[in-house]
Amino acid sequence: MKTIIHENVTVGENGHLHFAGIDTVTLAEKYGTPAIFIDENRVRSRMREYKNALENNFGAGSMPLFASKALSFKALYRIAAEEGIGTDIVSPGELYTAVSAGFPMERAFFHGNNKTDADIRYAMESGLGYFVVDNMEELDTIDMLAGEMGIRQKILLRITPGIDPHTHQKISTGGVDSKFGSAIETGLAEKITKEALAKENIELCGFHCHIGSQIFEIDPFVLAADIMTRFIADMRDAFGFTAKILNLGGGIGVRYVESDPEISITKNVNEICAEVKACCAKYDIDVPTVYMEPGRSIVADAGMTLYTVGSVKEIEGFKNYVSIDGGMTDNPRYTLYQSAYTVLLANRASEETEAEYTVGGRCCESGDLIQENVKLPKPRRGDILAVLVTGAYNYSMASNYNRITRPPVVLLKDGKDTLAVRRERFEDLVACDI
Ligand code: LLP
């Protein structure tokens, strides 16, 4: 059967687009549009791929921590819990969602460059496993609050390895001038390690780095593995401290359009792990427990968004616009990063494409576009338009701009569909208004 970009997207004999084996036109009729669909088996198999690769290389205990900023709702934390993996959370809201889903909080890692006192207290009360400490003020505060609560808090330190991967500037984070972490280059990483080791109420367990997102090359990850293991060796030599945990962050890229490469998670993770092991031998350090924090590469290609076409505007000599019933409020990624997406008419997926169209959202904002100049059959009002690979950073970045309600999220598994997040209602929009 013909697949489009990924195996879970096919065209049925009726000319309709199928996703995870289900006719998308039927799904659009059942749930209305816009709506986001997540292929649960795909999510689970991605989580397993990471888990198996890390365990095969480093033994039980090494695992992926799903970066839930990519997609966060209760059912997803339940899936991660069932798959026996951890999670990376970055806000008290994500923490609350994980706790509400019954996620085992000892496998949760709290990130972010500015955790408030209230966030820290709330996380400790919730039995959070680890804070990934960004900076000195935060270290002091966690030590103080842990003391108040009578606990010894486990932490990792976020280290900036000074790597500049080839990705969009807004999602590159490993450089020395990043707002995240403490840089090795400036000496701050060593200084914060020393401070952490001296804190009474803190147990330093290891180090973390994250170099960026949507990275296709393996080299920056391999380099990060080298720099971080060398840092572990340096800290052992300087302070006699042996890190038990090395967390290498997320960032493996995902195929959004035909021209993107196909990435094998197992192959990539194995290569990164091989480098970690080789460097442990090279620098003569004990092999740590290794974590990775994939977000996008777990959920992106497990997602699809369906919209309904409204007006179609052909401006002679200029552009053709096709307007849909969603837009930057459910997927701001083109507006923010000019991200590439594959766009199709779901109810006419086997028809020849006729012209190029710019897909516009419904916000009062010219920049509210989903994609420019995509080839489509001439769209008509009422057609179903599918945007592929929307599982990551779409629903989680959705907003209520123009008081547009957020779409529902539906899980697809073994030919069955289950609502995971209901569509927002107008009452939800005014729920906080006094
Ligand atoms: N760990 C940390 C500390 C992170 O900051 C991130 C992503 C991840 C893990 C997961 O990275 P991933 O595997 O998903 O690439 N909104 C942007 C992406 C921002 C990524 C932020 N950090 C986008 O839509 O492309």
For residue range 343-386, list pLDDT tens digits in order. Answer: 999 999 999 998 999 999 999 999 999 999 999 999 999 999 99
Model confidence, pTM:
0.96
What residues contact residue 311 under an 8 Å CB cut-off, 6+ apart? 321, 322, 323, 381
Stated length of the chain: 434
- What's the CA gap between 129 and 136, in Å, rounded? 20
- What's the CA gap between 45 and 85, in Å, rounded? 12
Lowest mean pLDDT among 154-168, 172-186, 226-240: 172-186
Residue with CA closest to ligand 1 atom 24: 393
Q: At the topology level of CATH, where does 2-39+300-429 sit?
A: Lyase, Ornithine Decarboxylase; Chain A, domain 1 (2.40.37)
- What's the CA gap between 34 and 81, in Å, rounded? 29
What is the enclosing helix (H) or strand (E) of 278?
helix 265-283
**Which pLDDT tens digit goes with each residue over 179-235?**
889 999 999 999 999 999 999 999 999 999 999 999 999 999 999 999 999 999 999
Per-residue model confidence (pLDDT) at position 300: 98
46 CB near ligand 1 (under 6 Å): no
The burial of 344, by beta-carbon neighbours within 10 Å (0-12 exposed, 13-18 middle, 19 or more buried), is given as buried
111 CB near ligand 1 (under 6 Å): yes
For residue 220, the CA-to-ligand 1 centroid distance in Å is: 15
- What's the CA gap between 421 and 433, in Å, rounded? 22
Reading the block at residue 219, the tokens are: 């080299």
The burial of 295, by beta-carbon neighbours within 10 Å (0-12 exposed, 13-18 middle, 19 or more buried), is given as buried
* C-alpha distance from residue 304 to each of 1, 186, 235, 325, 387 (Å): 19, 43, 45, 15, 6
Per-residue model confidence (pLDDT) at position 254: 98
- What's the CA gap between 6 and 398, in Å, rounded? 24
Residue type, 203: E
Residue 284: DSSP 8-state: T
Which one has a higher pLDDT value, 315 or 274? 274
- Whether a cis peptide bond, with omega within 30° of 0, leads into 34 is yes
Mean pLDDT of the chain: 96
24 CB near ligand 1 (under 6 Å): no
| For residue 238, pLDDT beyond 60 | yes
* C-alpha distance from residue 149 to each of 119, 124, 130, 138 (Å): 14, 8, 15, 16
Per-residue model confidence (pLDDT) at position 178: 76
**Cβ atoms 158, 132 nearer than 8 A:** yes
Which is the CATH superfamily of the domain at 111-294?
Answer: Alanine racemase (3.20.20.10)
Among 49, 63, 173, 293, which residue has the most ligand 1 atoms within 8 Å of its CB, making it the best to mutate? 293
212 CB near ligand 1 (under 6 Å): no
Catalytic residues, by residue number, are 364
Domain ranges of the chain: 2-39+300-429, 111-294
CA nearest 346: which of 18, 98, 44, 84? 18
**Cβ atoms 247, 109 nearer than 8 A:** yes
CB neighbours (10 Å) of residue 317? 5
